Every structure is written in structure tokens, then in C-alpha cells.
Chain A
Amino acid sequence: MYELFKNLGSWLTSGAQWSGSDGIAHRLAEHLQYSLLATLIAMAIGLPLGLLIGHTGKGAFLAINLASFGRALPTVGLVVLVFLASGLSMTPVYVSLVALAVPAIVTNTYAGMTAVDPDVKDAARGQGMRGHQVLFQVELPLALPLIMTGLRLALIQVVATATIAAYVSFGGLGRYVFDGLAQRDLVQVLGGAVLVAAVAVVLDLALSGLQRFLFRHRTA
């Protein structure tokens, strides 16, 4: 164990390890690209869906069940299935990551919307606000903390799971994990795992910082 961590130190700090097409810098950039793009797509799907369900109260049962169904979807299976259907491209990776992220975003957005006090909504309507005004000016801001929680959860899961890109020949930090497995090079596996965890933690901190920035007027 001690040996493993000592070697990890030199693996992470060697200049050669950071450069080139298989270098950490490049793999890190790929990993960020996969994770952020997948999360953005998932947001584009999940946010409107969650807001709509929360605002209208329709389809909630279906959405919640679909979400827990989505949580049960085995990512490895989905990647292989989409790969067999669409061939060698990034599509299987993005489809699986989006499928992973959407449920967390939808359920939390919906939960945030339902947590808004009905009296507040009524008051807004009483002041003559229209449906979309109530949604965007009252419900959305009040639901934001829970929506952000959903986004953070989704992002963490996506970052950890983007490792799977390497299984279907692509890059990202998963390359170190899968190559390390094939070569039984545990230092490489550990290095990949530590970097993935670091990316997840840093992105999560960044999002929670953003969240605090967005709500600074409330606490002030």
C-alpha cells in the first residue's frame, strides 16, 4: 500500500506524464469536455421537464417513477447497447451520461418546485402575475437551492461515470483506469481514480460557490 501511494506521487508529478496525447493534461481536458457537455445536455432536458411538472403538477407520478427507473439503468449495458445500435462514436457515451444525469435533475427540480409555499404562489397570482411570470419570477428563484443540489449530484455522478468513455476506445481519465486494468498497473489506476475524484470535488466546490454567490443577497 505504502509503495503504491509513493509511486502515485511520482506518477502524478512527473512532467512526462502530463504531456502528450496520453498525458494527464490532455486526458483531463477530455474528461472535462465529456462531463460538462453531458451535464449541459441533461440540464437542457431535465430542467424544463422538472419545471413543467412542478409548475403544472401534471405527470409527477410518471416523472418520479421514470426517474427511479433511470437510476436503475446499468450504464455499462446502456453504453454497449447504444454502441451496437449506432457504431463507434461518442454517442453511446453521451447517451449514457445524459441518461444518468437527467433523473437527478428532474427529481430535484420537481422537488424544489413543490416545496414552494402555495400561499406565495397565490399571492403572486393575486398581484396579477401570469403563469410564466409566477414560474420564472417566484417559483424558480425559490426552488433554486434544490435545483442546484440536483445539478451538483448529477455532475458528480457524470464525472465519475465518464470513465466509461475509455471502454469504448475514447479518452478521458478513464483511459488510465482501463489501461491500468489491462496492464495490471495499479499506480495508473489509482492515479486515474484520484484525478477523477479531484475533478468531481473541484467542480462540486465551484458549483456550491456559484450557489452561494447567487443567493448572497438572501443571506445578507
Chain B
Amino acid sequence: MNRRTLLGALAGAAVTVPALSACSSGITSLDSTGTTSGGGGSSKSGVTIGTANFTENQVLGYLYAAVLEAAGVKVTVRPNLGTREILIPALKGGDIDLLPEYQGALLHYLDPKATATEEGEMQNALAIALPAGLQILPYGMAEDSDAFVVTQETAKKYGLASLADLKKQNGKLVIGAAPEVKKRQVGVVGLKDVYGVEFKEFKSLDSSGPLVKGALKKGDVDVANLFTTDTDIQANDWVVLTDPKNLIPGQHVVPLIADRKADSTVRKALAELGNVLTTAQLTELNRQVDKDKKDPEDVANTYAKQHGLAR
């Protein structure tokens, strides 16, 4: 408890640190963070939410929009802006104010050598690693991790069950993932560092989208980087390789916001959402967008109403 408070203080008063005593999902009680004194920002002039170039991030962006609008904040959503590598500079530069992030991936982007894996630790490490002007709010229950996936046939053929097994096939397998994964710790870099895995080739595809899944189906790639909330993994009976050495960190959804907009209204609304939205629900919302072709905005609004987060 002391260490966390100390770290939080070091990172500056604007940073929110979840209390240790919170429930297993790590949700902070509102009264520790919900005071206006915490931020000094204001959402009065409106908040622009940016989202990354994959379905789930857009669903989350519109969920944020729904609860913020219900709290009386004027919201603009800018969907599909690109990767974290593009979004974070845009957040710093003021093109956007808020974006749905994932703890572990964000931490490794900011600090590739980060070792924290437990939710609370990551939250603290994030608070320290974030550049001035940006802060994370309490993380939500929902999680979406990176997964390295192979087809049943590939798993049998090469005897693959865990990431460690990939090393035996060094130089033989092709991995497909979004271009940024080539340079990421939770990606080609970390697989080599932690598991000693080397691939024959890296194919630049997309983030759990049609390219990477199409390539895995066709056999153009042997290993694919997908998201655990992608219902296609189950639908195709693909094998998620286990991660015995914990390369892939926990990936609770966490709002990343510019200090200038982080007021108590925004904190309260997003914390409420975080306390309600589960991984299973998020997965279902993704499915409605990808498979039923519903709008992320409609899906998010319906969810928010059904769960009393918006009228």
C-alpha cells in the first residue's frame, strides 16, 4: 500500500492509482479519485475521443462517448485513426483528448523493458511511464489480451501448445500480425527475448482483422497475432498458444486521457462503465459489429442504456 501511494505521489497528483484494497478486478472506489482536485482539467469544452483501427477499440470509444454524453459532456468520436504509435502523439498534440487503451500493451509501448504483469503494478508503472500531460484513469474489468494463435493442423504438425514450443521450429514458421507488432515487445521482439523464438518471415497484416485471419485460414501464415476477444478464434477452433513465461501482460481496458480534460465528471462516468463492462460482454459487442454488421455506435448506445449507464 505504501509503495503504491509513494509511486503515485511520485508520478504527480494528477495520476490515478487504484487502491490495493479494490476487488479482484482492481476497480477503485470512486471517492479516492472522483474529486475535482485530482485533475484540474475540464471537459466543459467537450471531449474528442480517438480510437484505433480495429473493431473493439471503436466499440469502446463509442461506449465512452455514450456514458460521457449521459453525464452531459459534449463528445466527438474520431474512429479508426490508426495504431497506438499514431494515437499517442495525437493525444499529446491535442488532436484527441481521450482514447481506450489496454494496460499491458500501453505500458510496453511506453517502456519496452517494463516487467510489471499484475494489474495494480501495471497501473503504477503506467503512471510513471506516461509523459507529462497524460494520465490513465482506473482500469475496467474487461480484458483483451494479445494472443498468438495457430490452426489445429499446425499445432499437431509441429507439436505446438505454448509459445516456448515455437523455438523448436526456429526459422521455419511465418508469423502474421499488424505491422507495428514487428517492433513491439508484445510481439516479435519479446518472443525472441523471452522465448528465443525466431521466425522465417514476418508478414505485415492487420489487427485481428480480415487480412491476418484470412492468411491464417489459407495457410499463408503459421502463427497469427489475434485478440482474445475475437470470436473467430473459437468459431474456427484455433489454438491459442499458452504463455508460461508471462510475456503477454494483463490487458485490462484503461482510459488514457489528457490532463486538460480529466475532470470529476469524466472520471466518474468512465469508472462506472469500467465497473460494469465484462470481458464476455465486450466480446459479444465485438461480435455484433463484426458478424451482425451493426454499427459500433448503435451497439455501444444500446449497451449503455441496457445497463443503466445512459438514458
**Chain B associates with chain A:** yes
Cβ contact within 8 Å between A166 and B204:
yes
Tell me whether chain B's interface is mostly helix, strand or loop, or mixed. helix
Cβ contact within 8 Å between B214 and A88:
yes
Decide: A183 near B215, CB < 8 A? Known: A21-B201, A169-B203. Answer: no
| Any A CB within 8 A of the CB of B202 | yes
Query: Please, which residues of chain A bring their CB within 8 A of the CB of B215?
Result: 88, 169
| Any A CB within 8 A of the CB of B86 | yes
In the assembled complex, 12 residue pairs joining A and B whose CB atoms fall closer than 8 Å, in A order, are A21-B201, A88-B214, A88-B215, A88-B220, A168-B211, A169-B204, A169-B211, A178-B204, A179-B182, A182-B86, A183-B83, A183-B85
Query: Please, which residues of chain B bring their CB within 8 A of the CB of A181?
Result: 82-83, 86, 179
Closest to B214 in A: A88
CA A166 to CA B211, docked complex, whole Å: 11
Kindly state the interface size class of chain B when it binds its partner. 20 to 34
- Give A182-196 as 1s and 0s: 1 = Cβ < 8 Å from B's Cβ atoms: 111100000000000
Q: How many residue pairs, one in A and one in B, have C-beta atoms under 8 Å apart?
A: 47
Cβ contact within 8 Å between A22 and B202:
yes
Cβ contact within 8 Å between B178 and A182:
yes
Closest to B204 in A: A179
| Any B CB within 8 A of the CB of A87 | yes
| Any A CB within 8 A of the CB of B94 | no
- Point out the residue from A22, A88, A179 that lies within 8 Å of B218, measured CB to CB: A88
CA A185 to CA B183, docked complex, whole Å: 10
CA A184 to CA B81, docked complex, whole Å: 13
| Any B CB within 8 A of the CB of A31 | no
CA A85 to CA B263, docked complex, whole Å: 47
Given contacts A88-B215, A169-B206, 13 further A-B contacts (CB under 8 A): A83-B210, A88-B210, A88-B218, A166-B204, A169-B211, A178-B204, A179-B179, A182-B85, A182-B179, A183-B179, A184-B86, A184-B89, A185-B183
- Point out the residue from A88, A166, A183 that lies within 8 Å of B182, measured CB to CB: A183
CA A90 to CA B203, docked complex, whole Å: 15
Cβ contact within 8 Å between A88 and B211:
yes
| Any B CB within 8 A of the CB of A175 | yes
Within 8 A of A (CB), among B188-207: 201-206
Closest to B83 in A: A182
Shortest beta-carbon contacts, A-B, top 10: A182-B179, A184-B85, A179-B179, A88-B214, A182-B180, A169-B211, A182-B83, A183-B180, A169-B205, A183-B183
CA A22 to CA B200, docked complex, whole Å: 12
A115 to chain B, nearest CB (A): 46
Closest to B53 in A: A182
Query: Please, which residues of chain B bring their CB within 8 A of the CB of A83?
Result: 210
Query: Please, which residues of chain A bring their CB within 8 A of the CB of B204?
Result: 166, 169, 175, 178-179, 182
Query: Please, which residues of chain B bring their CB within 8 A of the CB of A178?
Result: 179, 204
- Give A8-20 as 1s and 0s: 1 = Cβ < 8 Å from B's Cβ atoms: 0000000000000
